[in-house]
Amino acid sequence: MKKLRSFVEPERLVYDTICQKMNPKKPMYQTGLQILKATVGIRSNARDLLPKFPLQIEVKSLLTDFRGMTEIPYSRKLDGQIVLENKPSAAFFKRSKMKAVFRGPLRKLEGQASDLRYSLWGNQGFLYRFILYLLEERHHIYSLHACGLYDEKRNLLYIAAGGAGSGKTVYLLSGIAKGLKLFSTETVAYECRGKKITWFKGSLIDNVRLGTLVHDFP
């Protein structure tokens, strides 16, 4: 194993040690992404495991969590790092501080998944939760599981928070019907600096259950 220089910080040491175990003969593909102020660098030995840009509008899409996801150049200086090694071995996962490593038959496991919302790049998957963590740890931006509606005439922001099935979509549709503007469908993020609170516009796409439209609204 290659000897690391002593100035490397402990969490970087763990990360680099794991990366050195990956097959050096196979090329590493890489990309970066940004959601709000959080940035993530992603490396993999399988190009098709990297997230696809631009995001598609579908049930599993992160566009139902956030307003958008931007592709940026890869760098190890980004807020977080994700390493994916697709290989025929037992599934392995390790996280150290702001870095996460996945190893195993990742392509096969994703193909067998019954609900892709919980896949690596799904709207309930690892990246979604990693972004929320990075926003808090790196940028002090916090998120509510809520929908948001804006009253432009009165300059008021209405937030309806709650878990799945709590009725957020009903409030959202009712507010739009009354002339309010959509601010976010699923996640409302905010940042506090002194006495000032900044609210970030969120997702503008919603996965609506058929029963919500048939039985609950209007």
By DSSP bridging, strand 99-104 and strand 196-200 are unpaired
| Token pair 């997230």 in the structure block, residue | 51
Q: pLDDT category, 7, cuts 50, 70, 90?
A: very low
Residue 150's pLDDT is: 97
Residues 122-178: tens digit of each pLDDT? 999 999 999 999 999 999 999 999 999 999 999 999 999 988 777 888 889 899 999
> What does pTM read for this prediction?
0.82
Residues 67-103: tens digit of each pLDDT? 999 999 999 999 999 999 999 999 999 998 899 999 9
